[in-house]
Structure 1
């Protein structure tokens, strides 16, 4: 059993490394020309992988990663409902600081319209345009955008803000603590 588990993990690692070497996802070629893989991680819940996440950027200033053009690509390892992803995303955005109730309702509606149901293997890619907007792609196709700088900052803050619920993932994405 342990040997099979190790073989599966090794296969996943090889596939992830091959994907990283293959270059920028097609939807990002026009959105972030010259971007490269900056960091990657896996979100786990109760030990089970939920998604693999990759940070793409030309440059990520560590003092304010949320102030730069970048993209986060999430590749899901299991099926999830878009409504559940939207609610969890809003909950994580609220972790970063209070959001007035009317704004929370607007943001939840935005998230629900943007975030589809996903299956294992599906990719959601968010592109951050600082002080401007979020553009979201589902499996390479533009799903929509939100032209709200506060929304954009809070959304990407789910993974990159110091107040994230996943500080280890943040460190891996930003490559903090590496020499």
Structure 2
């Protein structure tokens, strides 16, 4: 009887040991903020190619800085391979951080980003704690560990020295 009870208790304990962390992980998964207010929107076209439509949203409808809560949504208008997304991102992050940091960030992005096709959306959301979360078609795909990543990443689109300054100004709501 003791042996059966011990096995039974061990089985139940193992079941809870795996179930509780899984449940906790699901509870901490960030949610896509659909109710945030638009700050600005813009369309990127390179030569005759439509690339994406971009929308910046915040809880207040105002752009309050690169590390304040915000959501940048890119709605892709064409097919782009994951490698090309990563290469372009690396190119734009290089002037904003050390090479070692950029390489660490790129390893994380490589694990979470997919290739995109027309109609797909990649969104980046900075929460109240400054953590950066990625969503693919409004489904969470990962969180960046380094708090310095979030402001650097959004400066690609929103920074005053962005590669597309007119797009950045439109997204910031004319600021």
1:66 — aligned with what?
66
Local SS of the residue matching 1:65 = coil
Matches within 5 A, 1:1-179: 30-32=31-33, 34-59=35-60, 64-95=64-95, 97=96, 99-129=97-127, 132-176=130-174
Q: Distance in 2 between matches of 1:161 and 1:131?
A: 21
RMSD of aligned C-alpha atoms?
A: 2.1
Structure 2, gaps ≥5 residues long: 1-29
Q: Distance in 1 between matches of 2:159 and 2:61?
A: 13
Per-residue displacement from partner, 1:70-116 (whole Å, max 9, x unpaired)? Answer: 10111101000112101211211223x3x333222211111212221
Quick check: 1:93–1:154 contact (8 Å CA) kept in 2? yes
Q: Distance in 1 between matches of 2:74 and 2:124?
A: 8
* Offset at residue 131 of structure 1 (A): 5.5
Quick check: 2:124–2:132 contact (8 Å CA) kept in 1? yes
Quick check: 2:132–2:144 contact (8 Å CA) kept in 1? yes
Per-residue displacement from partner, 1:127-177 (whole Å, max 9, x unpaired)? Answer: 013663111111111111112111111111111111211100011111216
Q: Distance in 2 between matches of 1:91 and 1:176?
A: 26
Q: Structure 1 residues 157, 60: CA separation in 2 closer, same or farther (over 3 Å shift)?
A: farther
Q: Structure 1 residues 76, 53: CA separation in 2 closer, same or farther (over 3 Å shift)?
A: same
Quick check: 1:39–1:56 contact (8 Å CA) kept in 2? yes
For this pair of structures, how many residues does the alignment match? 146
Q: Structure 1 residues 132, 58: CA separation in 2 closer, same or farther (over 3 Å shift)?
A: closer
Local SS of the residue matching 1:67 = coil
Quick check: 1:56–1:72 contact (8 Å CA) kept in 2? yes
Q: Distance in 2 between matches of 1:80 and 1:67?
A: 28
Q: Distance in 2 between matches of 1:56 and 1:163?
A: 21
